């Protein structure tokens, strides 16, 4: 039976668990961010949970516990993170349902008006005919229809008010969704938004035979920089790099914070050569500026980034595209950093 972690965190044992979680994070060199702290609290509280099993597997494999890994674990295992995803999906379904209802209401209104016009025309066409009984019947129906139309006009007023409220709710849902899909520090797309955008771009590229290029970018030596200057200054650097990447990632491109100090750019309909040019422009702009620490005005020195890119092959799965772009990024790191590498070049060197 799994441990009731939420109950443990509201008991006297909570402080001991918190200290144990901090110690575990320190042992495995994990930054104590809010998300990481919650993950490791659950880890030390229930060592038999699926979350703990997955963390143990990562530790045994010697894999680094990056921000991206933490975000994936949180979305997969933590109740609040899973609920956020379910809320987003429910919001999408509600928006679709509201659209359907609005269309049905408009259709009913048009049908009612057309019916009234048809009856009025039929009544007029019978004025010169010797069909008193028929004319009387039609006039009766016309009167009834006119009464229905008056009632419908009242209903339409009410529906207009309701439609306005529906529109307001839909706009609010869109704002909530946008916030949930946006990284709070950089205001770029977050990991969830990136995954959805890349999945859609891959599907469209496959269906339409279009080119698609993916790039991943990473701030060089960011951990040592963070250790030297602190997290607030590290956040300043992340925001600066994100602003440069964001300008290059205007729609239809997608710029995202992939996790921690890592970013991604999706280039729908653009070949690797184009993406390479853009990435070099980003890299040169980032390194051309000497940043200053806001609190003390000290020079932070030049910031550099490394990047890797992969142009999608026909029939290639999304996971494979990401792996090749990552491999190209690591090739840039191994090659001395502050450079961009294409996946095709990595493959050619390995051959």
For 50-60, how does the pLDDT look when each residue is reduced to its tens digit (9 = 90+)? 888 889 888 88
Average pLDDT over residues 9-16: 69
pLDDT at 70 over 70: yes
pLDDT at 272: 95
Q: How confident is the model at residue 29 (pLDDT cuts 50, 70, 90)?
A: confident
pLDDT at 81 over 80: no
Instruction: Reduce the DSSP state of residue 193 to 3 states and report it.
Output: helix
Highest mean pLDDT among 80-84, 111-115, 251-255: 251-255
Tokens of 209: 């035979």
Q: How confident is the model at residue 2 (pLDDT cuts 50, 70, 90)?
A: very low
H-helix segments, the chain = 5-8, 14-27, 34-45, 50-60, 67-77, 79-125, 132-180, 191-208, 222-229, 231-248, 272-288, 318-334, 343-350
Going by the DSSP 8-state scheme, the letter that residue 253 receives in this structure is S
**Region of poorest pLDDT, from 20-29, 158-167, 279-288, 342-351:** 158-167
pLDDT at 116 over 70: no
Instruction: Reduce the DSSP state of residue 9 to 3 states and report it.
Output: coil
pLDDT at 351: 55
Nearest to 56 by CA among 78, 37, 39: 39
**Between residues 43 and 107, the one the model is more confident about:** 43
**Between residues 225 and 119, the one the model is more confident about:** 225
Residues 6+ apart with CB under 8 A from 334: none
What is the distance between the alpha carbons of residues 43 and 49, in angstroms, rounded to a whole number? 8
pLDDT at 125: 59
- For 191-350, the fitting CATH number among 3.40.50.720, 3.40.50.150, 3.40.50.10070, 3.30.70.270 is 3.30.70.270
Residues 6+ apart with CB under 8 A from 88: 177, 180, 181
What is the distance between the alpha carbons of residues 338 and 134, in angstroms, rounded to a whole number? 89
Let me know if 226 is exposed, middle or buried by CB neighbors in 10 A (0-12, 13-18, 19+).
buried
Give CA 300 to chain center in angstroms.
32
Mean pLDDT over all residues of the chain? 81
Residues 6+ apart with CB under 8 A from 109: 152, 156
pLDDT at 96 over 80: no
Please give the share of the chain, as a percent, with pLDDT higher than 70: 74
Residues 6+ apart with CB under 8 A from 309: 213, 214, 215, 216, 272, 275, 276, 279, 325, 328, 340, 341, 342, 343
């Amino acid at each position: 039976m799994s441990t009731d972690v939420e109950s443990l965190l509201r008991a006297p044992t909570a402080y001991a668990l918190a200290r144990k979680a901090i110690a575990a994070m320190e042992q495995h060199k994990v930054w104590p961010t809010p998300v990481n702290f919650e993950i490791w609290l659950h880890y030390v509280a229930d060592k038999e949970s699926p979350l703990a099993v997955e963390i143990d597997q990562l530790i045994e494999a010697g894999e680094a516990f990056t921000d991206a890994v933490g975000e994936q674990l949180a979305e997969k295992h933590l109740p609040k993170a899973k609920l956020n995803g379910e809320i987003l999906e429910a919001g999408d379904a509600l928006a679709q349902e509201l659209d359907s209802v609005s269309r049905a209401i408009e259709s009913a209104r048009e049908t009612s008006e057309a019916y009234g016009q048809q009856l009025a025309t039929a009544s007029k066409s019978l004025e010169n005919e010797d069909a008193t009984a028929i004319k009387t019947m039609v006039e009766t129906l016309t009167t009834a229809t006119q009464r229905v139309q008056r009632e419908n006009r009242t209903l339409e007023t009410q529906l207009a008010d309701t439609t306005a409220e529906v529109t307001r709710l839909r706009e609010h849902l869109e704002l909530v969704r946008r916030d949930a899909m946006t990284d709070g520090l950089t205001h770029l797309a977050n990991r969830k938004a990136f995954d959805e955008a890349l999945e859609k771009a891959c599907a469209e590229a496959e269906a339409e035979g279009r080119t698609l290029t993916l790039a991943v970018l990473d701030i060089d030596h960011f951990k040592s920089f963070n250790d030297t200057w602190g997290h607030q200054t590290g956040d300043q650097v992340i925001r600066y790099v994100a602003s440069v990447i964001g300008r290059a990632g205007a729609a239809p491109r997608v710029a995202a914070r992939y996790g921690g100090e890592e970013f991604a750019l999706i280039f729908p309909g653009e070949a690797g050569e184009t993406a390479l040019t853009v990435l070099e422009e980003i890299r040169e702009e980032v390194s051309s500026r000497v940043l200053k620490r806001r609190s003390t005005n000290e020079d932070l020195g030049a910031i550099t980034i490394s990047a890797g890119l992969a142009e999608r092959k026909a029939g290639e799965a999304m996971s494979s595209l990401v792996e090749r772009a990552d491999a190209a990024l690591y090739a840039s790191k191994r090659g001395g950093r502050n450079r961009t590498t294409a996946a095709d070049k990595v493959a050619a060197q390995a051959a």
